[in-house]
Amino acid sequence: MICLGIEGTAHTISIGIVEKVNNRCNILANISKMYKPEKGGIHPREAANHHVKFFPKVLRESIEKSEVNINDIDLVSFSIGPGLGPCLRTAATAARTLALSLKKPIVGVNHCIAHLEIGRALTKCEDPVLLYVSGGNTQVIAFMEGKYRVFGETLDIGIGNCLDKFGREIGLPFPSGPHIEKLAKKGKKYISLPYSVKGMDVAFSGILTACLHLLKKEKIEDICYSLQETCFCMLAEVAERAMAHTEKEEILLGGGVACNKRLQEIIRKMANERKAKFYCPPNEYLVDNGAMIAWTGLLMHESGIRMKLEETKVRQNYRTDEVEIKWR
Amino acid sequence: MEIIKRGAEAIIYLATWKGRKVAIKKRIKKGYRIKELDEKTREQRTKREALLMMAARKAGVSIPIIYDLRLNEKEIVMQYIDGYRLKDIIDEKNEEWQKKICNQIGKNIANLHKNGIIHGDITTSNMIYKNGRIYFIDFGLGMKSEEIEDRGVDLHLLMEAFKAAHRNKNLFSWVIETYEENFEEAEEVIKKIDEIARRGRYMRRIS
């Protein structure tokens, strides 16, 4: 079975084409185009316009790359939520159009779960705790009693959003994470910041405010260093707590912020200390990508999940634990 | 020193202190944290836990007495309660006993919440039974709060713990009975528990 998946929850429009061979995920194509605002953060409508503009090109390139005939595609999947309304609707419209014109079934995929499933497919982990860290989302997810449950999450903004907002204030381009990572490497002095872990949840807005207050007093490299160390250790702590609670021995990373090498190092150390296994897919599949939507759509379809066209309405606030998991 | 329990954050040792049998809770170093942050976090947590325990005691809730606070070592030296984990014995007891104990727990939680204390991990594993009395232990996830949400989450966890680990389905309602009698804002909190349960996200395996 070959599935074409469309990702479009936020800044990235991406198409992945995957097939299942010997029960393994084989990615035939994964083509992405990311919207980068000239200044400021993501403007949802601008991002959606970007997706409309680039969709035909991304589609053409992905078909070419995969070397499949478009009529050989068996299933169309798309990111149904959570995400920014205008972006979601754009991807959904594209998916419906494609499914109708190809006369193939359509299925809507939960974006957060797709991050987890592609991680499971591309690494050797089986039943991990996922630390999912991106611009809008920060969640600790694990499978229990028939569902992917959220054991911890941010109480205010996503970790990526925290980094981007700080970056914007100091004049870094979007996304700011990679630039902050570079600056942090030159930082030497740890400046004390609020450390906000509540049970298995985290909060970042207080840290962001504290960092902004430091701008006049401290070196920018030291602030970036302290910001990263504080936020990433909070994430390691809640991830560890979730592992202890669920008695799982694998930790998997997902989301764009997981490209950060220092975060990877911290989580790897945490895993080693408790003799657990650490898994991290390649960067291309950490950030938003169509392949994860295609792969999860394929799993859903194979497990018997079907959606009528009327059921493909987007869900901006779609929660991870709402999804019925029939394929595990 | 004998290790009684090894958690994600701390280790509990059994030891002797001035001739007394004591439990020492030591927060362990985390290699993934830079030294400055590790020191600060462990020290603050140790201090906060000790303060919460003392506040709980003042509120009339039985807890192990704190004998010594060693901030440099990130250790709390406390009374060793030589009793039974409630989790291990409650199922074997008769209904009358269970009701009496659950009523006592409800009153204790009411006293905590009334005084702005959230335990953060109320399960039957964190209660010790000795001579007719329930001692609350492990305030490691606790905090000071008067928010209905935090109180709701606190009680919801106990509800889940009862559901997951114990047979008698009435246990939680007996806790609620005295919680209501002893706390004016109980009604609001109980409403909140339903809402929290519907979110379905605080589910966890209770050990």
Q: Is the pLDDT of residue B6 over 90?
A: no
Interface mutation vs chain B, best among A227, A235, A270, most B CBs within 10 Å: A270
Q: Do A246 and B33 touch (CB under 8 A)?
A: no
Closest CA in chain B for residue A246: B205
Fold classified for B84-199? Transferase(Phosphotransferase); domain 1 (1.10.510)
B6 close to A (CB below 8 A): no
Residues of chain B contacting A192 with CB distance shorter than 8 Å: 36, 40
Nearest CB to B203; choose among A144, A153, A241: A144
Q: Spell out the domain ranges in chain B.
A: 2-79, 84-199
Q: Do A149 and B205 touch (CB under 8 A)?
A: no
Q: Do A266 and B32 touch (CB under 8 A)?
A: yes
Distance from CA of B142 to the nearest CA of A (A): 8
Interface of B with A in 97-136 (CB under 8 A): 120
pLDDT band with cut points at 50, 70 and 90 for residue B206: very low
Q: Do B201 and A267 touch (CB under 8 A)?
A: no
pLDDT band with cut points at 50, 70 and 90 for residue B7: confident
- Rounded mean pLDDT of chain B? 93
Closest CA in chain A for residue B153: A199
Residues of chain B contacting A240 with CB distance shorter than 8 Å: 8
Out of A8-12, B21-25, B122-126, which region has the weakest mean confidence (pLDDT)? B122-126
Q: Do B30 and A199 touch (CB under 8 A)?
A: no
Q: Do B33 and A244 touch (CB under 8 A)?
A: no
**pLDDT score, position B200:** 55
Q: Do B200 and A321 touch (CB under 8 A)?
A: yes
Q: Which among A80, A87, A73 has a CA at the least distance from the CA of A307? A: A80
**pLDDT score, position A164:** 96
A228 close to B (CB below 8 A): no
**pLDDT score, position B203:** 46
Residues of chain B contacting A195 with CB distance shorter than 8 Å: 37, 40-41, 44
Q: Do B37 and A266 touch (CB under 8 A)?
A: no
Domains of chain A: 2-116+285-322 (3.30.420.40), 127-280 (3.30.420.40)
Distance from C-alpha of B117 to C-alpha of A87, rounded to nearest angstrom: 44
Strands A277-279 and A250-254: parallel
Q: Do B204 and A273 touch (CB under 8 A)?
A: no
Q: Do A246 and B41 touch (CB under 8 A)?
A: no
**pLDDT score, position B199:** 67
Reported as type and span, the H/E element at residue B53 is helix B35-58
Fold classified for B2-79? Phosphorylase Kinase; domain 1 (3.30.200)
Closest CA in chain B for residue A143: B204
A273 close to B (CB below 8 A): yes
Distance from CA of A183 to the nearest CA of B (A): 17
Q: How many CB atoms lie within 10 A of CB B47?
A: 14
B33 close to A (CB below 8 A): yes
A260 close to B (CB below 8 A): no
Nearest CB to A269; choose among B31, B40, B153: B31
Secondary structure (3-state) at B3 = strand
B145 close to A (CB below 8 A): no
A55 close to B (CB below 8 A): no
pLDDT band with cut points at 50, 70 and 90 for residue B204: very low
Closest CA in chain A for residue B150: A198
**pLDDT score, position A131:** 98
- Greater confidence (B54 vs A144) lies with B54
Residues of B known to be catalytic: 121
Q: Which among B173, B204, B165 has a CA at the least distance from the CA of B190? A: B173
A317 close to B (CB below 8 A): no
Nearest CB to A198; choose among B44, B143, B201: B143
The mean pLDDT of B21-50, rounded to a whole number, is 96
* Averages of pLDDT over each 10 residues, chain A, 328 residues: 97 97 96 92 95 98 97 98 97 98 98 97 96 95 90 92 96 94 97 89 95 97 98 96 91 98 98 96 98 98 97 94 91
